[in-house]
Amino acid sequence: MKALIYHGPGRKAWEDVPDATIEKPTDVVVKIETTTICGTDLHILKGDVPAVQDGRILGHEGVGTITEVGSAVTSLQVGDRVIIS
């Protein structure tokens, strides 16, 4: 999949990254259909958040559909539409 990757203040690039997978029983995988860059991402891009290191994927708000659920997930199922905020 493609992701917007932070590479230091003012530097970003669209890059191929591995598809998300279930790593823990409480994980879900969401196929993102719409996302946005928010104020936090803009501060990161300006270099205002020194804790964020090179390689960080930007864009943590989105809308999508669950494609996989971990074995311990009981309140969501494949096909559910979700918002991530």
For residues 18 and 72, what is the distance between their CA atoms, to the nearest angstrom? 23
For residues 25 and 2, what is the distance between their CA atoms, to the nearest angstrom? 25
Mean local confidence (pLDDT), 20-39 = 95
Range of the domain at 69: 2-84
Q: Please list the alpha-helical segments (H only) found in the chain.
A: 39-46
Check which CATH number belongs to the domain holding 80 and give it.
3.90.180.10
Q: What phi and psi, each to the nearest 5 degrees, are found at residue 42?
A: -65, -40
- Give pLDDT tens digits for 6-18: 999 999 999 999 9
- Give pLDDT tens digits for 36-82: 889 999 999 999 999 999 999 998 899 999 999 999 999 999 999 99
pLDDT at 25 over 90: yes
SS3 63: strand
For residues 6 and 52, what is the distance between their CA atoms, to the nearest angstrom? 9
Please tell me the predicted confidence (pLDDT) of residue 37: 86
pTM: 0.82
| Count of domains forming the chain | 1
